[in-house]
Amino acid sequence: MSSGKRKVDQVDPRDVPKAVVSRLSLYLRELRRLVRSGKATISSSQLGRLLGLTDAQVRKDLAYFGHFGHPGIGYRCDELVAAIRRILGTDLGWTVAVIGVGNLGRALLGYEGFAAQGFRIVAAFDVDRARVGKAVDGVTIYGLEQLADVVRERQIRLGMLTVPAAAAQSAADQLVAAGIVGIVNFSPVTLSLPEEVSLVAVDLATELEQISFAVANRNATR
Amino acid sequence: MSSGKRKVDQVDPRDVPKAVVSRLSLYLRELRRLVRSGKATISSSQLGRLLGLTDAQVRKDLAYFGHFGHPGIGYRCDELVAAIRRILGTDLGWTVAVIGVGNLGRALLGYEGFAAQGFRIVAAFDVDRARVGKAVDGVTIYGLEQLADVVRERQIRLGMLTVPAAAAQSAADQLVAAGIVGIVNFSPVTLSLPEEVSLVAVDLATELEQISFAVANRNATR
DNA sequence: TACTGTGAAACGGTTCACAGCC
DNA sequence: GGCTGTGAACCGTTTCACAGTA
């Protein structure tokens, strides 16, 4: 507590609802677009309309983290972009590894959306010797046995897992042992990880199943 | 109401919480694995432990749709697989198109997890003339202008959208015009669609941002 | 006037705890 | 004894409505 009356109105980030955090990503994406299109300020109701949310929700979400708005004006787009990036931690710059260089892994290596958001893929890993040593989109592919070394040397902090289901838990264990702090799991398995490692799971088949359910149940009660 | 006292204890599927439906996919995935490994029955608490959920949650979720369990026994794995497939509608067999054959689109065309869950990708579309006419993983690539015709002929019902952000809304509009009933959107834009078309959005950068937030806020209040 | 920030109310989902059943 | 199905209590999130501010 060095000096001044630093107002502590922020909440402990750990008890912010998960839904709020994922909307933050949406706000960020839309705000960047607005900045690019030259818009200087935006109100909660305009932003909400663009994203299919209510104005109150937008304000409540942002208010978890501080006072970013200007009454009578709205939110300054560039200011809010900077604030959200800082909240999400994407201003820190993250190094990422891709584990599993199949179809999906290759797609991630070539995905342009990551760099702009502060994520740099610096290495890929695979068990297939035919792939090891090659590079895809400028990223070198290493053997899985080199994981620990490369993670240490290149200071890799996050991993994206795109290996076959049967190999996923073991690959995840290796990532954890190598000291990685967060994993996005694209393999269709439920991983069990120590709770100090963050996990987000994405299952492509599951996404289609959600659509299937919605469509199959569109009309009234069976 | 042909005969018998058909008990109507099911709830209108439209007011089942979304979270329940996405857990259904998890149950299904795990149950299939259990069936494959020869397990005949499973209790809600075992299934919950495998997925990181409570036993009560598993039972409540399933009870939205009927009485699938056997007191004293648990759930019969194969029975429950069939029930969930029917609930999700994946037993109906869906035809799917991929729009945008870039890195991610190609990965989807080669993704093996879809067929097993009842989804068949029967066509792909792209604006790039160099790609049109070719096939990827046995799926023919058509020009985007052929969308309406091919969707009709091949009776395509769902679409996966993997085009650049700038092209996404227009492509989505074309999908809707062609009569598609559900879209999984991988393009980093918020689409606006008529509400009779179902939508699931997956943003890869957003997933990494969730991890970033979790890791950056792992420790106590700043 | 136009807008934010926020308590309070309303809503919806999860957990609890137990009756009923095998 | 072991397990499901479920009403009731609990808890977290969303919506409402308005005081406060530029």
Closest amino acid to nucleotide C15 (CA–C1'): B56
pTM of this prediction? 0.94
The per-residue pLDDT of chain A, averaged, comes to 93
Low-confidence ranges of chain B (pLDDT < 70): 1-10, 220-222
In chain B, which residue's Cα lies nearest the Cα of A20? B210
- Checking each nucleotide's C1' against the CA of B42, the nearest proves to be D3
Q: Is B159 helix (H, G, I), strand (E, B) or coil?
A: strand
Q: Which residue has the higher pLDDT, A10 or B6?
A: A10
Q: How far apart are CA B151 and CA B164, in angstroms?
A: 21
Question: Distance from residue B31 (CA) to nucleotide C19 (C1'), in Å?
Answer: 29
What are the chain A neighbours of B205 within 8 Å (beta carbons)? 25, 29, 113-114, 116-117, 119
Per-residue pLDDT, averaged over A194-215, amounts to 97
Q: How far apart are CA A132 and CA A80, in angstroms?
A: 42
Q: Is B110 helix (H, G, I), strand (E, B) or coil?
A: helix
What are the chain B neighbours of A117 within 8 Å (beta carbons)? 205, 208-209
pLDDT in tens, B156-204: 999 999 999 999 999 999 999 999 999 999 999 999 999 999 999 999 9
Q: Which of B99, B90, B55 is nearest to B191 (CA)?
A: B99
pLDDT of residue A162: 98
The minimal CB distance from B21 to the residues A13, A116, A213 is found for A213
pLDDT in tens, A80-112: 999 999 999 999 999 999 999 999 999 999 999
- Checking each nucleotide's C1' against the CA of B70, the nearest proves to be D4
Q: How far apart are CA A185 and CA A162, in angstroms?
A: 7
Percent residues over pLDDT 90 in chain A? 91
What are the chain A neighbours of B190 within 8 Å (beta carbons)? 26, 29-30, 50-52
In chain A, which residue's Cα lies nearest the Cα of B18? A210
- Distance (Å) of CA A190 to CA A179, B25, B31, B165: 20, 12, 12, 31
Q: How far apart are CA B97 and CA A128, in angstroms?
A: 30
Model confidence band, residue A120 (pLDDT cutoffs 50, 70, 90):
very high
pLDDT of residue B178: 97
pLDDT of residue B123: 98
Model confidence band, residue A207 (pLDDT cutoffs 50, 70, 90):
very high
Interface contact flag, A111 B204, Cβ < 8 Å: yes
Is there contact between A118 and strand C, defined as CB under 7 Å from any strand atom? no
What are the chain B neighbours of A212 within 8 Å (beta carbons)? 88-90, 92, 94, 118-119, 158, 182
Using CA atoms of B51, B52, B58, B64 in order, give the dihedral in degrees to the nearest 10.
-90
What are the chain A neighbours of B215 within 8 Å (beta carbons)? 89, 157-158, 181-182, 198
pLDDT of residue B12: 81
* Helix (H), strand (E) at residue B126: strand B119-126
Q: How far apart are CA B158 and CA B175, in angstroms?
A: 9
* Helix (H), strand (E) at residue B75: strand B75-76
In chain B, which residue's Cα lies nearest the Cα of A103? B107
Interface contact flag, A25 B206, Cβ < 8 Å: yes
Is there contact between A55 and strand C, defined as CB under 7 Å from any strand atom? yes
pLDDT exceeds cutoff 90 at A11: no
Q: How far apart are CA A118 and CA B201, in angstroms?
A: 21
B207: number of Cβ within 10 Å: 19
Per-residue pLDDT, averaged over A116-134, amounts to 97
Q: How far apart are CA B154 and CA B81, in angstroms?
A: 29
pLDDT exceeds cutoff 60 at A5: no
pLDDT exceeds cutoff 90 at A4: no
Q: How far apart are CA A183 and CA A68, in angstroms?
A: 31
The minimal CB distance from A209 to the residues B103, B117, B208 is found for B117
Per DSSP, A130 falls in state: T
Using CA atoms of A146, A147, A153, A158 in order, give the dihedral in degrees to the nearest 10.
160
The encoded tokens of residue B51 equal 């997925």
B116: number of Cβ within 10 Å: 11
pLDDT of residue B222: 45
> Do B170 and B191 meet the contact criterion of CB atoms below 8 Å apart?
no
Burial of B49 (C-beta count, 10 Å sphere; 0-12/13-18/19+): middle
| A-B contacts (CB, under 8 Å) | 210
Q: Which of A87, A88, A46 is nearest to A66 (CA)?
A: A87
